[in-house]
Structure 1
Amino acid sequence: MEGKYYMELQWFQEQTRRYRLNTVIVGSGAAGFNAADQLWSLGQRDIAIVTDHVKAGTSRNTGSDKQTYYKLTLAGEEPDSVGEMAKTLFSGQCVDGDLALCEAALSAQCFLKLVNLGVPFPRNRWGEYVGYKTDHDPRCRATSVGPYTSRYMTECLEASVRGKGIRIFDKMQVIRVLSDGKRVCGLLCLDLDMAGDEKERYVLFQCENVIYATGGPAGMYADSVYPAGHYGASGLAFEAGVKGKNLTEWQYGMASVRPRWNVSGTYMQVLPRFYSTDGQGNDEREFLRDFFDDPYEMMSKVFLKGYQWPFDVRKAAGGSSIIDILVYMERCKGRRIFLDYRGNPCGGQVDFGRLEPEAQEYLNRAGACFGTPIERLKHMNLPAVEFYRERGVDLEFQPLEIALCAQHNNGGLSIDAWWQTNVEGFFAVGEVSASHGVYRPGGSALNAGQVGAARAAQYIAVRRTEAVGENGAFEAAASRALAWAEELAEQALDGKAAGTDWTSVRELWVQAAIRMSRFGAAIRSAEQIGMALRETERALEQFGRMVQAEGIGDLWRVFRLRDILISQQVYLSAMLDYISHGGKSRGSALYTNLSGKKPDERLPEEFAFCLDDGGLGKMVQEATFKDGRTEFCWREVRPIPRDDDFFENVWRGYRENGNVW
């Protein structure tokens, strides 16, 4: 039987479709398209994009009240420089200085490329690209083309890629990264259009380089503002030996759940009414009133959420982030949370003179000291109303369901200054890469994705142009991966084994995502994280024996869920390791610490915390997933480089090696 099985597997491998390419770009967001476009512009033709859905992803399908792009100042008299911008990025804690310098140095180049491709960033009549201040920004470096900035970017970059004839393999879900732990050699994909055909189900890509642009691991969370259909694929990278970095650092904030969208900016500044119901929509209650004695203090805190949208533990005690905590607490009771724009909080009219000065002044200058929240929203930002109406939610007549949601991972896969990981030939760009730290200026993620793509493309075009040839490591890795995929698919599709507890893949996914949102999101405690980790490890250990696909249409979910569980295991382990190293509450995470203080004495003990003092701000936590367990090491951040920039020396280096070393 073993010989027969081996012969069948060998035949199957030989018959499996395969492609040989120098570089495969995984992902079709703004970072992925830019990587392909840059490679082509640098002379690389042996490339292709692989994506599970070319029109899906965060870049194309998400945004905010005024989605921001962060770059070097290009207007006015206010001084700025590459060095100053690098210092701003570096100051976010746990940031490697070489990455900060690269993001600052290439920000103007990448921004102006987008302008030339047709992204309509605004400029004044003299040609200056004017800006505004965003969070954690000492200059007016931010700019925007409205709520769909990243969509414009993605569409313009896609048009450029298609105009060059770069091949795109759509409906290809990567299910295994092929490597020996030191060097990448290819990918195994599930062809989503051919999943029902056992002979055509899998596709192999042999390559020298992979540019991974899969976005953040959004599938881990139930409460998520990432667009439906964006899941990430970080677990596959961890499994291939790629290190994680700063995995504990996320941004969470209030967002609507259907559709998924940040309720920042004017959605909060018009002072909507918050209420909760039971699971069936009954028992309506303005739960914030239970906490605030003064309704105008409550409304002022709601107003500030427009400016201070992400949950920030520094603003929990006496600040606007108390609203996030109260929403989280109410949802943990099994209740649903709604924003209601039809009537004012507490009923009746708002006495705007009783609001805190910042809210009062803003609404007065906006001419919005009147009426109901929906009337104020239509006056201040009519497109914000039209956005939801176009998606089936008319704020004039119905409430908007919200939750405290995962929004952005500041950590990710560990990279060097060329966005290459510790696995040779494997590059990570966009949100999947860890170029940020604890805090970052709003909009810096869009710039980081463009810069990372440009850096990876430049390195490959100079240093990694070799053609793909016969490779024994690839053949061995492909054989193992195909055997594994076939076995897992057979187990999931071929019925329930006697005496084994099977659970549908959809149910397992829901359980895992809810567990992560409850114990591994904005509010964290060592005890609960440990419990969640043990349950996740158990699910992974028993995965092949317990996961059940309801049909061939569920097969993609089986592979995706396994990736998500690996990501959850690594991320939860990172949180426990951070706590064990004395890590305290920082950024968008509150770690329960009973020796600390609660933001308010009326809150449960779960919300007692000690605020981080920056003691670990110059350290980076890196994670390695190996043999089903996660190992950690800590290192100091790499400083901002101080090179000899004597022109003749730089010019010579550029002529000789393109400044790639």
Structure 2
Amino acid sequence: MEIKKTLIQEMEFHTVVVGTGAAGFNAASRLKQYGVNDIAIIAEQVNAGTSRNTGSDKQTYYKLSLAGKDEDSVLNLAEDLFAGQCVDGDVALCEAALSTLSFYRLVELGVPFPCTEFGEYVGYKTDHDRGRRATSVGPYTSKIMTQQLEKDVRSKQIEILDRHQVIHIMVEENEVCGVLCLDLKSKDELHYVIIWCQNIVYATGGPAGMYHDSVYPQSQLGSSGIAFAAGVRGKNLTEWQFGMASLQPRWNVSGTYMQVLPRLVSTDSDGTDEREFLLDYFDSKEEMLSLLFLKGYQWPFDTNKIFGGSSIIDLLVYQETIIKKRRVFLDYRKNPGDQEIVFEKLSSEAYEYLKNADACFGTPIQRLEQMNELAIHFYQEHGVDLYQDKLEIAICAQHNNGGLAVDHHWQTNVKGFFAVGEVAGTHGVTRPGGSALNAGQVGSTRAAEYIAHDKNISTGRMNDSMKNACRERAEQVIQLLAGANHGTKSLSEAWKEATRRMSQCGGMIRNKEEVKKALDDTEYVLINYLQYVSVTNISQASLFYHLYDTLLAQKVYLTSMYDYLMRKGGSRGSALYTSSTGKKPGEKMPDLFTCELDQGKFGKLVQETYMKDDVCFCEWRPVRDIPDVDYFFETQWKHYRERMGSI
């Protein structure tokens, strides 16, 4: 394919926000609120991304308890976030301290979180939560947040550069200079845009495109690879959340989808030979049902819950789908075993919950209608009638707890480059359900506040020499496309191959030899990228750059996983690392699940991974502890005035 020389347009802003999810829109809104007016939002597709296109039975927002007699404090919440292992305490304290400010702002913007008639915002318990901090507006919590934040941004008349794909981050002397974008509005010829800026607030979401088995919306791919290529460090990249999700549509089957106790059946690939495989493993149907109930708010696969806990369910689903190559479905039309449930024989936790919900009766679909009718409506809106149809599921990647390394202002190691939302690695091995939505709002607020009040920003630091160096590298990125016309694989074939390799080797079950092979294969493709893939039409330019970004991200993530294995890290969080010297979760389990639990061995350490001259390196450091703050009012008032430049 011949690539003609294209005149590159140039623009300049003080700060750009990349991404139009809940974190990105909040960052732009806050920047404007704090007095930074020369800003723009860059969006590949305004209506794409995870925030707007994902959810669950009642998608959770996690915050400080704000109702009744529930005892809570900022420090209590920070300690619970910090307890997730590999979490920096200063970041946890910020997420706790700003949770109420961020929550009430969403309320004022029109997000209808439920409250009592007296104004108390009630909550419920979620996974890895010792209180009742969770709240929800239903399946579309993050979507509604995004919509209301977008309205606020548009009311402030903030410029949105839609249909611009960031393909290169320009950095000189470890400081941000700008971004190179592919203008996707042009259909007949390639247009590129250089956007100069002093700050980038990166809100691109997690690198969802890395995995084939994924619950992320298909519009969410991520852009972490080009951040690594620009010198940004990664943090806790080994830590993902995996769990059961429907395939069509992609959706978490958490909460009441599990608590109503559906049948789980598997079939051959053609839908024949249906059987309830869970009944083959458990000696007691009541034990099986009680653990199935717990999957509601213990939804993520958790290695701490594989020895007699609820994550046995995930392993059994994985065994059916990955090892036995069968298909697994949830069936809400009949009770498990097609028998009436004696609810009093369930665990006390399951029985009391279903009793309080007036759901100790009938079939799973009748209980779901009683407890959460909106959960049924969601699937009806996407062409699945749970009254009539089985729902196909698998174990899927759902959330990256790791990401780009940030400080307590959400700035990375590159000056002027801030990461907010899921792309920021603020979580650890585990996290309370819904804490990601809070972290996105807090992080984007912190970044905007810092940018607005940073006295060290130099408005004229980019000279002609620096800009020319950036232009030369941008030209190299553009010319990559011209060399991709002799490859042996189409972009779609190469994409499927890369993502399937990642799901197989870097997913829920990880083996040292397989991770190393996947890393070697990924590096080979990157080195030979222009000879590996074939681009035959300029309409494929977007996918060409996305695939390269994804391969870069896979390389860095697989390096992190291999380094962890070489240090003899054990199974933790949502990742089971196989070990010949460990033990199986049960005698009926395959040898593949033999493992040793980490038991907090690396819980006080953070792994940071970075790329230099195309080579990846890993470093380990202690976590930053929760700050010991002097809470004397006059002292903090003085510090505040000095920090904010007040009189």
- Aligning the two structures, in what range does the TM-score lie when normalised by the shorter sequence? over 0.9
Counterpart in the other structure of 1:625: 611
After superposition, the Cα gap between the structure-2 partners of 1:110 and 1:369, relative to the gap in structure 1 and judged at 3 Å, is closer
Between 75-84 and 268-277, the greater mean CA deviation after superposition: 75-84
Counterpart AA for 1:416: D
Contact 2:240 2:575 in 1 (8 A): yes
**Worse-matched range after superposition: 238-247 or 552-561:** 552-561
Structure 1 residues 304 and 374 mapped into 2: Cα distance closer, same or farther (>3 Å)? same
Report the counterpart of residue 258 of structure 1 in structure 2: 248
Deviates more, 1:281-290 or 1:445-454: 281-290
Q: What SS is found at the alignment partner of 1:64? A: coil
- Aligned residue for 2:200, secondary structure, equals strand
Q: What is the rounded CA distance, in whole Å, between the counterparts of 2:368 and 2:453 in structure 1? A: 52
Provide the secondary structure at the position in 2 that maps to 1:248: coil
Distance 1:131 1:359, change over 3 A: closer
Q: Partner residue of 1:342?
A: 333
In 2, are the aligned partners of 1:96 and 1:637 still within 8 Å (CA)? yes
CA distance in 2, matches of 1:267, 1:552: 44
Give 1:435 shift.
Answer: 1.0
Alpha-carbon shift at residue 470 of structure 1 (Å) = 4.2
2:580 is equivalent to residue 594 of structure 1: yes
Q: 3-state DSSP class of the match of 2:370?
A: helix
Aligned to 1:120: 112
CA displacement at 1:354 relative to structure 2: 4.2
State whether residues 181 and 423 of structure 1, in contact with CA within 8 Å, keep that contact through their aligned partners in structure 2: no
Residue 497 of structure 2 corresponds to residue 481 of structure 1: no
- For 2:409, give the aligned amino acid: W
> What are the superposed Cα offsets for residues 332-352 of structure 1, whole Å, 9 maximum, x if unpaired?
133222111122222343344
Pair 1:608-2:608 in alignment: no
Q: Is the 8 A contact 1:30 1:449 kept in 2?
A: yes
Q: Which amino acid aligns with 2:434?
A: G
What's the counterpart of residue 530 of structure 1? 516
Q: CA distance change for structure 1 residues 377 and 226 in 2, over 3 Å: closer, same or farther?
A: same
Deviation, structure 1 residue 502: 0.9
Is the partner of 1:339 in helix, strand or coil?
A: strand
**Whole-angstrom CA distance in 1 between matches of 2:623 and 2:588:** 39
Q: Does 1:653 align with 2:644?
A: no
Letter in 1 for 2:104: L
1:551 to partner: Cα distance: 3.0
Range moving further from structure 2, 119-128 or 581-590: 119-128
Gaps of 5+ in 1: none
Counterpart code for 2:599: D
Residues 96, 195 of structure 1: alpha-carbon distance in 2 compared, 3 angstrom cutoff: farther
Query: 416-425 vs 63-72, which deviates more?
Result: 63-72
Kindly provide the CA deviation profile for residues 555-584 of structure 1, in whole angstroms up to 9, marking residues without a partner as x: 211110111111111111101111222311
TM-score normalised by L of structure 2 = 0.95
* Change in 2 beyond 3 A, CA 1:599/1:482: same
Partner SS for 2:337: coil
Per-residue deviation, residues 393-414 of structure 1 (Å, max 9, x unmatched) = 0111111111111111111000
SS of the residue corresponding to residue 475 of structure 1 reads: helix
Does residue 284 of the first structure (1) align with residue 270 of the second (2)? no
Q: Which residue type is aligned with residue 258 of structure 1?
A: Q
**CA 1:641 to 1:348, structure 2 compared with 1: closer, same or farther past 3 Å?**
closer
SS of residue in 2 equivalent to 1:512: helix
The match for 1:224 is 214
Structure 2 runs not aligned, ≥5 long? none
State the alpha-carbon separation in 2 of the partners of residues 195 and 314 from structure 1.
51
Question: Could you tell me the TM-score, scaled by structure 1's length?
Answer: 0.93
Deviation at 1:465, TM superposition (A): 5.5
1:101 pairs, out of 93, 96, 102, with 93
Query: CA 1:121 to 1:465, structure 2 compared with 1: closer, same or farther past 3 Å?
Result: farther
Number of positions where the alignment pairs a residue of Structure 1 with one of Structure 2: 642
Distance 1:271 1:238 in 2: 43
Of 260, 282, 295, 2:285 maps to 295
Q: Which of 369, 372, 389 in structure 1 is aligned with 2:360?
A: 369
- Is 2:314 the partner of 1:324? yes
Q: Does 1:314 align with 2:325?
A: no
Separation in 2, partners of 1:458, 1:365: 44
Counterpart Cα distance in 1 of 2:270 and 2:527:
36
- 8 Å contact kept, 2:11–2:195: yes
| CA shift in 2, pair 1:276/1:643, >3 Å | same
Do the aligned residues in 2 keep the contact of 1:119 with 1:156 (CA within 8 Å)? yes
Identity among equivalent positions (%) equals: 56
1:192 paired to 2:184:
yes
| Cα distance in structure 2, aligned partners of 1:509 and 1:44 | 40
Residue in structure 1 matched with residue 554 of structure 2 by the alignment? 568
Distance in 2, matches of 1:181 and 1:321, equals: 47
Aligned-pair Cα RMSD in Å: 2.0
- Checking the alignment, whether the CA contact within 8 Å between 1:533 and 1:573 is kept in structure 2 is yes
Q: Deviations over 1:205-252 (max 9, x none)?
A: 111110000111110011111111101111110000000001111111
Distance 1:111 1:352, change over 3 A: closer
Residues 159-217 of structure 1, C-alpha deviation per residue, up to 9 Å, x if partnerless?
1100010000111111111113611111111111215313xx21111111100001111
Mark the CA change 1:77 to 1:158 in structure 2 (over 3 Å): closer, same or farther. same
* Alpha-carbon distance in 1 for matches of 2:97, 2:367: 41
Equivalent position SS for 1:189:
strand
Q: 1:60 aligns with which of 52, 67, 70?
A: 52
Q: C-alpha deviations, 1:92-123, integer Å up to 9, x for none? A: 11111110111111111111111111111222
Looking at structure 2, the residues matched to 280 and 478 of structure 1 have their Cα atoms a distance apart, in angstroms, of 54
Contact persistence 2:56–2:140 (CA under 8 A): yes
Q: Conserved in 1, the CA contact under 8 Å of 2:267 and 2:327?
A: yes
Q: In 2, Cα distance between the equivalents of 1:429 and 1:20?
A: 22
Instruction: Answer with 474-483 or 411-420: which moved more.
Output: 474-483
**What displacement does 1:75 show?**
2.5
Cα deviation 1:532-561 (Å, max 9, x = unaligned): 111111111111111123533322111101
User: Which among 391, 411, 416 is matched to residue 407 of structure 2?
Assistant: 416
Is the contact between residue 22 and residue 466 of structure 1 (CA under 8 Å) also seen in structure 2? no
Return the letter of the residue paired with 1:173: Q
Structure 1 CA distance for aligned equivalents of residues 166 and 644 of structure 2: 33
Question: Secondary structure, in 3 states, of the residue corresponding to 2:579?
Answer: coil
Distance 1:83 1:287 in 2: 45
Instruction: Pick one of 523, 534, 537 that aligns with 1:551.
Output: 537
Q: Is the partner of 1:173 in helix, strand or coil?
A: strand
Give the C-alpha shift of residue 525 in structure 1: 1.2
Residue pair 1:241, 1:624 contacting (<8 A) in 2 also:
yes
- Once the 2 structures are TM-superposed, how far is the Cα of residue 587 of structure 1 from its aligned partner? 1.0
Q: In 1, distance between residues paired with 2:548 and 2:524?
A: 12
Q: Helix, strand or coil: the match of 2:245?
A: strand
Structure 1: distance between partners of 2:445 and 2:210 = 29
* Aligned residue number for residue 264 of structure 2: 274
Structure 1 distance, partners of 2:64, 2:355, is: 32
